[in-house]
Structure 1
Amino acid sequence: MTTAALEPHAGRRCNNALNALHATHYFSPDLERELGAVGITHPRAVNLAVRAAALGPVGAGAVTAAFYNYKHELVARHVPAVWRSAAPEQVLAARLRAVDATLRRLLGEETTRSPEMAEAARLALRAAEGCARAARPLYSAHADLPVPDEPHLALWHAATLLREHRGDGHLAVLMAAELDGLEAVVTHTATGRGMAPTWVFSTRGWTPKDWDAAVARLRERGLLDVAGELTERGVALREEIERETDRLGAAPYAHLGAEGVARLTELAAGFARTVAGAGAFPADLFGKG
């Protein structure tokens, strides 16, 4: 293990690049095709199943708790019913087939088979060795899954571990900040970097009425102004949330070390630019709407 000091936000930058690779399959027609082949066709059921499957055939309560920003009523419409269509093991296998097809299509065969891909996979897996299981259910569940043999899938697997490890810690920070699931989304969207409201409504189950109620609560706390923009207090809170998330998620990047993190970020950012340029994400996914 190395103790080399990291630059400020180095772990966050690395995680952001890796997360872009992880997230490609959520918007991929390959995922719809592979999940449809095992009997799961509703878009919301697909989304819930692929991320929850590592937890096993859990009920709606466990999924709502682990995901944090989904409306429970949406989750309960599809979970645990989705496991009657396909067992979690089937879902996980279908997900990996979709990831394989998606990354090959977006990156190209030359890139997926490149030495740089293999190097990135090795670095990301080494970083993941520094993750901890305690109080991190989504990370820990995915950590029980085998590492795929092919480098592009091994990189995706490691990116998933690092994403869920950071995400589990992020939820603890949101709770400490006394932001419920929708309030967390509203404040993130207000930064200009979060999911656009229309996507929140279509994917998370919240309604415009729910959104307006969350905005009103945040105004009462002095976090949003009358125009729905973050106040100085709101900006400070979001910055503190990110700093604390960085702190709780620092271990894998400290384990990898500054040089390794810099190289992994360089490689992952290059792959992320390629997939984005190939149309991996909807143009209207992020922003204030």
Structure 2
Amino acid sequence: MTPTPTLARRLWEAVEPLHAIVYFAPQPAAAARRIGLRGYWMGYFASRVAPLGPVPPVAVAAMAYGFAPSMVARAIPDAWSYAEPALVLETRIAAAAEALRAAFDPAEVTALAELAEPLWETVAACRFDGRPLAAAWSQVPRPADPVASAWLAAGVLREHRGDGHVLAAVAHGLAGLDATLTFVAAGGMQRDVIQPARGWTDEEWAQSARRLAARGLLDRDGRLTRLGGALRHDVEDMTDRLAAAPVERLGPTGVEDVIARAAPLSRVLVDTGAFPVPNPVGAPRP
């Protein structure tokens, strides 16, 4: 029987599409090209780490975690020779708001704008110890445009949980590719979808499978063993616990209110195809 998602996980599921539409909508990719960034993935990596400044590829790969370092190195540091981080950041925020306005009808845009303040109240409950991406995004000035502001707050929340997920996976002895393989083995995503999107070669994939099998986490057919399933459950449980600060501060009623307001908007994005499910992010329809 599938366990009931925790309140922290339900909050992520409700909010994630509001931020992650930028990875699928045409407006952010087009905006990145206009400022000189070459190709989708250069725009992706540069935009995601822009609040940190011109960080080197080894740091970006460490924070992106599930991506192959070689994939990161094809985009960073070259991206900073085409566009400075401040311009990348400004462009990403404006394009995100444009994408959201294009995806929603006027009433939904109003609802999203009204959600900005509750989302920032949720952000205010977060702690950023050991969370470099979330900490950096939390320091970006709130835009005057409430749609852009809602997107930015949703982004801080998703990076807060994402950084915590990396901490949880590393604490359980998983390299980035190892975590990806356990995700695939758990049925979270098809290999042919996520492997190309994360840049790993077949040989790197096979090496990870051998590492996990040696630990007793995968069987010879690449499926999770009982031990592997328990480890995967523990990683997700720790991720939820590390993301629980908003629940602790706002209380169940406060978090349920944010979920109730965010989830219908995220469902619109899913149901209209603006945010595809399944996706490499691993986010479901809320």
Using the size of structure 2 for normalisation, the TM-score is 0.91
Matches within 5 A, 1:66-145: 66-114=63-111, 117-145=112-140
Given the alignment, which residue of 152, 159, 181 partners 1:157?
Answer: 152
Residue 152 of structure 1, CA deviation: 2.5
Matches within 5 A, 1:131-280: 131-194=126-189, 196-280=190-274
Match of 2:279 in 1: 285
Residue 258 of structure 1, CA deviation: 1.0
The 2-side partners of 1:269 and 1:133 are apart by 25
Contact 1:32 1:41 in 2 (8 A): no
The 1-side partners of 2:113 and 2:255 are apart by 15
Q: Which runs of 5+ in 1 are unaligned?
A: 1-6
SS at match of 2:102: helix
Letter in 1 for 2:61: T
The 1-side partners of 2:8 and 2:42 are apart by 32
Contact 2:119 2:258 in 1 (8 A): yes
Contact 2:270 2:276 in 1 (8 A): no
> 1:93-125 deviations in whole A, cap 9, x for unaligned?
1111221121111122321123xx344222211
> 1:125-173 deviations in whole A, cap 9, x for unaligned?
1111111232110011101101122332222111111111111121111
Match of 1:21 in 2: 18
The 1-side partners of 2:196 and 2:38 are apart by 16
**How many pairs align?**
278
Letter in 1 for 2:237: R
Residue 226 of structure 1, CA deviation: 2.1
Higher deviation after alignment, 138-147 or 70-79 = 70-79
Higher deviation after alignment, 80-89 or 126-135 = 126-135
Identity %: 38
> 1:70-115 deviations in whole A, cap 9, x for unaligned?
111221222111011011111111111221121111122321123x
Residue 227 of structure 1, CA deviation: 2.1
Given the alignment, which residue of 24, 40, 44 partners 2:41?
Answer: 44
Using the size of structure 1 for normalisation, the TM-score is 0.90
The 2-side partners of 1:56 and 1:199 are apart by 31
Could you say if the C-alpha distance between residues 8 and 79 of structure 1 is closer, same or farther in structure 2, counting changes exceeding 3 Å? closer
The 2-side partners of 1:238 and 1:284 are apart by 19
Q: Which runs of 5+ in 2 are unaligned?
A: none
Residue 27 of structure 1, CA deviation: 1.2
